[in-house]
Amino acid sequence: MVHFCNLPTIGLSPFLFALLVVQALFPEMTSPSIADYGSNTGSRFTIRRIYLQTILCLFNVIPKTIVWWAISGLLGGFIVALVVSYQRRMGRWGGKVKTSTVEKLFWESTELTDDNDEDDYHHQAMSKEYVRHSSESAQGYFCESGSIGISGASREKKLSVTLWKTVSYVLPLFTLLVLVLIGCNQIHTYRPDVSNELLNTTIEPATPFLLTLVIMTAPRRNNVAYIKQTLWSYLASFPDEVADPLYSRIQIMVYTHFTDFAAFDEAKEYFQTIPKARKHVKWIRQEGFEKNQRKHLISAIRMVGSVEDTVYLGIMEDDFPFCAGGWQEMLNTIYLAHQTVPEHCGVFVTTGGSGLIFKRSVALTASFILESDMHAEDRGERATPPDISLQNCILGKHDYCSSCAGTLVVSKTLLQGHLGYNSSTIGEGYHASQFQCGWRHPFVSTQHDVCLLQKAANSLGTNSFD
């Protein structure tokens, strides 16, 4: 996180919290309290240094949302504290073990003072033999090699002492810090949903449409169709009342480039019987039969983008339905981008080639990138996959879209699930559990986008990521 946003206090947080836990188990390694000062003044209060350090650490992190960074430090410190405590009680790592009389006699008798002194040598040998017999008959402290060992009972006792100190000193501190950190995280990440009225009046109210979503659909293997389920997830969040400010400012374009596509015909016939769908959904078909995603995207973006006067033009795929609450979170993300990064080129709320919501002019620019890739492919060159080309444009990684660099705002998590994870039109797929609702958006982990999200959220008094 230091590398991401140039906030060194965040980068140090795991180490500081780990140190707190270690000091909680080893208070004797630091100044334990300010008791002496209080005794001179007659005060009845004793303040341990560990408590003061805890308060200072919390003051450092409470204004930020770094709960998982801090908890990772707590867990690391907890494990280290247990290991160190046990090793010290076993007499290692600088620790001292309370010895029996037999052990003490042995170690005193084996201190060599002069390697050539014959008397010392015999004395040590006799002492060692004496200790061996004594320990075998009494406490069993000798191993067969003649060195002192610690009995199993002693080890268990020392382990139980370590566990008792852990429960008494470390766990209460650990639990308190975790509760405080999670509570602060909930406060920082809470963001009220933006209202339709606020969106309507804030984002270019003079433009007829605020948001136009183009759902790309094409025949799939084994005639699998997802368009009905996906479209229902959209319409479920659309306003029902004419009085709603967004009732006439959002629309869906279902686009296909296939003449013979039974699933498209069935979905169109089905939704034309539903009033909400008749209002918000338009069906666009261009004649053709070629499975060429790049060509179809160029055609759809130009056909819709050159005709519809809309602020945002979103590229969606027919097997990416919205998650529960995903539609509202998409609107929240658009509003956040508009308010805090006015020069942004768009937002990204899903993954792959779906959920890319461009400013209309940027979407038209992206179509020229796709066209350039298509010409390169015709020349036998290796072309960038169409979804990556769209992402590169919105990221500002292409010369045509260089002004977009550093302006992308993404949602914290993926706002759409993927029904067709194993039935892609190009034959690729992945496991059903991957890239689904609730997954952290892949671009959140990139350097500049994390900073943009934090900058945007802080300016609104909230935060959009953990």
> DSSP for 5-24?
H--HHHHHHHHHHHHHHHHH
Cα–Cα dist 350/330, whole Å: 10
Q: Characterize 204-228 residue by residue with b for buried, 16 or more Cβ atoms within 10 angstroms of its Cβ, and e for exposed.
A: eeeeebbbbbbbbbbbbeeeebbbe
The pLDDT score that the predictor gives to residue 420 is 73
The pLDDT, as a whole number, for residue 268 is 96
Closest CA to 201 of 210, 193, 212: 210
The CA distance from 390 to 407, in Å, is 15
Residue type, 102: V
How far does CA 424 lie from the centroid of its chain? 27
Backbone angles phi and psi of 275, in degrees to 5: -55, -45
Distance CA 178, CA 6 (A): 25
Tens of each residue's pLDDT in the chain, 466 residues: 222 333 334 444 566 666 666 665 555 544 444 444 444 545 555 556 666 666 666 666 666 556 666 677 667 766 776 677 667 667 676 655 555 554 455 445 544 444 444 454 444 554 445 445 444 444 444 344 444 444 555 556 656 665 676 666 667 777 777 787 777 777 766 778 899 999 999 999 999 999 999 999 999 888 889 999 999 999 999 988 888 999 999 999 999 999 999 999 999 999 999 999 999 999 999 999 998 999 999 999 999 999 999 999 999 999 999 999 999 999 999 999 999 999 999 999 998 889 999 999 999 999 999 999 999 999 999 999 999 999 999 999 999 999 999 899 999 889 999 887 655 544 455 556 566 788 888 877 553 443 444 444 444 333 333 3
The dihedral through the CA atoms of 85, 88, 90, 92 has a sign that is positive
Helix (H, G, I), strand (E, B) or coil at 183: helix
Domain definitions of the chain by residue range? 2-97+152-189, 102-137, 198-459
3-state SS class at 312: strand
Tokens at 363, concatenated: 């979407």
Sheet strand arrangement including 281-285: 281-285, 250-256, 209-216, 310-317, 356-359, 346-348, 409-410
What number of H helices and E strands is found in the chain?
A: 18, 7
Mean pLDDT of the residues in the chain: 75
Which pLDDT does position 183 carry in this prediction?
79
**Structure tokens belonging to residue 146:** 């003649």
CATH architecture observed for domain 198-459? Alpha-Beta Complex (3.90)
The fraction of the chain above a pLDDT of 90, given in percent, is 43
pLDDT score, position 7: 37
In the DSSP assignment, the letter for residue 238 is: S
Phi/psi region, residue 94 (left: phi>0; alpha: psi -120 to 50; beta: rest), is left
Pairing of strands 346-348, 209-216: unpaired
What's the token pair of residue 206? 């003079």
Beta pairing class for 310-317 and 209-216: parallel
